[in-house]
Amino acid sequence: MAERIPLIAGNWKMYRTHQEAAELVRALIPRVADVSYCEVVVCPPFTALTTVAELLKGTRIALGAQDVYWKSEGAYTGEISPLMLKAVGCRYGIVGHSERRQHFGETNATVSSKIKALYDAGLIPIICVGERLEEREAGRTHEVVSRQIDECLDGLEEEKLAASVVAYEPVWAIGTGLTATPEQAQEVQAMIRGQVAALYKKQVADALRILYGGSVKPESIRALMAMPDIDGALVGGASLTVESFASIVHFA
Ligand code: PGA
């Protein structure tokens, strides 16, 4: 089986001005400097990307954006292109986050366009999928997640998918304090890997990193990381304080 390097990503959402972001990242750098067994990524708001990128130079922490538009330039007021993200030093871009799906009309089709646009600019997508509470309660988790995977990955070449990151984030666990149990997350993530193996081939599925996201805390990370199909975490609330994010990064 391919060796998958764990990845811990902090999604800061719409928190922190660029000054506050600088303060947070300055304090974080020395706290995770010794970590070599996993990749660490921070995804600040757009307005803080340049500031944070400067501070991250020469460190092992990578930069990601929380969203992107799929055109490289044009008359699209308010949007940010993959080329712009690349130019400020981003390596990753989150797409399909449930908050984008819920509040801003993100669909599997727009996620698919964004994934391709990120690759064209040399960026790696972190593709979010996950079911809502009523869908889980209706026993529709697999159906919903596998449709998201199917439609989001539509037409993506296998070498690109192998380098991608998927984040399984059950919507009912985001920002609620309700973490999925490691077994619940493992079950869906194994399903995702199986689906990718069926759609592409086993080597692609083996290389693909699948993160869990949804109320990840220092107390829950170890048990999650012990699961065979959990390759890291996308962390929201707990990524906003150095103490909790650093201790999540130190799961090993
Ligand atoms: P949370 O957010 O850790 O605050 O639940 C996770 C996410 O939305 O990516």
Judge if the beta carbon of residue 212 lies within 6 A of ligand 1: no
Residue 18 annotated as catalytic? no
Give the number of domains in the chain.
Answer: 1
The atom number, within ligand 1, closest to the CA of 13 reads 8
Within-domain flag for 240: yes
* pLDDT for position 145: 98
pTM: 0.97
* pLDDT for position 193: 98
* Rounded Cα gap, residues 159 and 146, in angstroms: 20
**Helix 49-56 vs helix 18-32: angle between axes, to the nearest 10 degrees?**
30
Averaged over successive runs of 10 residues, the pLDDT of the chain (252 residues) comes to 87 98 98 95 98 97 98 97 98 98 97 97 98 96 98 95 96 90 98 97 96 96 97 98 98 90
* Token duo for residue 104: 């801003």
* Rounded Cα gap, residues 32 and 62, in angstroms: 12
* pLDDT for position 2: 55
Within-domain flag for 2: no
**Residue 230 main-chain phi, psi, to 5 deg:** -105, 110
Judge if the beta carbon of residue 43 lies within 6 A of ligand 1: no
Report which DSSP code applies to 181.
Answer: P
Within-domain flag for 136: yes
Within-domain flag for 40: yes
Residue 169 annotated as catalytic? yes
* Rounded Cα gap, residues 60 and 205, in angstroms: 26
Within-domain flag for 215: yes
C-beta of residue 49 within 8 angstroms of C-beta of residue 65: yes
C-beta of residue 123 within 8 angstroms of C-beta of residue 93: yes
CA–centroid distance for 138 within its chain: 26
C-beta of residue 11 within 8 angstroms of C-beta of residue 239: yes
Q: Which domain does 14 fall in, by range?
A: 7-249
One of 20, 157, 169, 243 is an active-site residue; which one?
169
The atom number, within ligand 1, closest to the CA of 98 reads 8
Q: How far is CA 156 from CA 37, 118, 152, 162, in A?
A: 29, 12, 9, 10
Within-domain flag for 1: no
The atom number, within ligand 1, closest to the CA of 174 reads 5
* pLDDT for position 41: 98
Within-domain flag for 32: yes
Provide the CATH number for the domain around residue 133: 3.20.20.70
* pLDDT for position 252: 85
* Among 216, 252, 245, CA closest to 233: 216
Q: How many CB atoms neighbour CB 213 within 10 A? A: 27
Ligand 1, atom 9: closest residue by C-alpha: 236
